[in-house]
Amino acid sequence: MSSSSKAAAAALPYSIIDDAELHDNAVEALYDRAFGPGRFAKTAERLREGNDCLKHLSRLAVSEGEVIAAVRLWPLMVGDVPGAVFVGPVAVDEAFRGSSLGLELTELCLEAAQKDGWKLAILIGSADYFGRIGFTKIPTQDYPIPGYVPEGRLLARELSAGVLADMQGPISVPRDARPAS
């Protein structure tokens, strides 16, 4: 798609809605298109598998009945402390990229999470992109996660001022989200 037709597509009207089960197939199709077949091999998936998506805090953009962007939040523990959300996947349909819709949706998710009492947001992604909405790098040795993450791609944003000082340690899926073994 040329840059002018991309700009035209990005200007199409869209609405932001809460995530819900009825959109699951459309969201999965969007994520498949955005991330390709290697999607489930990503380290981030280790923090989503066996976890329960916080649907009431996740947001979708819809245009003419199609899901064109999605951001999901998931609960995480940092050390023994609950209260962190894991952000992602963040995806915008290729035809709608170019107006930072991914950041707009992420910001809306985080506003909802903050109102709901969540303290910290964590993601794996580009500091250049997510730094635009206040995410900063955190060291992987202080926040070990199950799987490899290149230094500089593990990012956090405080939802409660100063909370990073109290929340340190391994990042994991909350025990109550895991199936009983």
Ligand X SMILES: CC(C)(COP(=O)(O)OP(=O)(O)OC[C@H]1O[C@@H](n2cnc3c(N)ncnc32)[C@H](O)[C@@H]1OP(=O)(O)O)[C@@H](O)C(=O)NCCC(=O)NCCS
| Residues 10-39 contacting ligand X, CB under 6 A | 34-35
Q: Is residue 62 at the binding interface for ligand X, with CB under 6 A as the rule?
A: no
User: 127, 126, 124, 148: which is closest to 136 by C-alpha?
Assistant: 127
Q: Shortest CA distance to 157 belongs to which of 93, 73, 66?
A: 73
Letter for the amino acid at 172? S
Residue number with CB closer to ligand X (12 or 80): 12
Q: Which stretch binds ligand X (CB under 6 A): 74-82, 87-95, 108-116, 151-159?
A: 87-95
Contacts of 122 (CB under 8 A, 6+ apart): 76, 78, 84, 85, 86, 87, 138, 143, 154, 155, 156, 171
Decide: 143 and 169 in contact? Cβ < 8 Å: yes
Instruction: Tell me which stretch binds ligand X (CB under 6 A): 73-81, 126-134, 138-146, 162-170.
Output: 126-134
Query: Residue 60: phi, psi to the nearest 5?
Result: -125, 150
Q: How far is the CB of 27 from ligand X (least distance, A)?
A: 12
Q: Is 150 one of the binding residues for ligand X (CB under 6 A)?
A: no
Q: Does 83 bind ligand X (CB under 6 A)?
A: no
- Beta-sheet strands, E only, within 30-65: 59-63
Stretches 73-81, 120-128, 143-151, 152-160: which one binds ligand X (CB under 6 A)? 120-128
Instruction: Tell whether residue 108 is a contact of ligand X (CB under 6 A).
Output: no
Q: Shortest distance, CB of residue 4 to ligand X, whole angstroms?
A: 15
> Contact, 139 vs 127, CB < 8 A?
no
Question: Which of 97, 92, 101 lies closest to 67, judged by CA?
Answer: 92
Binding range to ligand X, per CB under 6 A, among 108-116, 124-132, 149-157, 168-176:
124-132
Query: DSSP class of residue 174?
Result: -
Give the single-character DSSP code of 45.
Answer: H
In the complex with ligand X, the residue whose CB is nearer, 64 or 117, is 64
Closer residue to ligand X (CB): 73 or 91: 91
Q: Which residues bind ligand X (CB under 6 A)?
A: 34-35, 88-92, 97-103, 125-126, 128-129
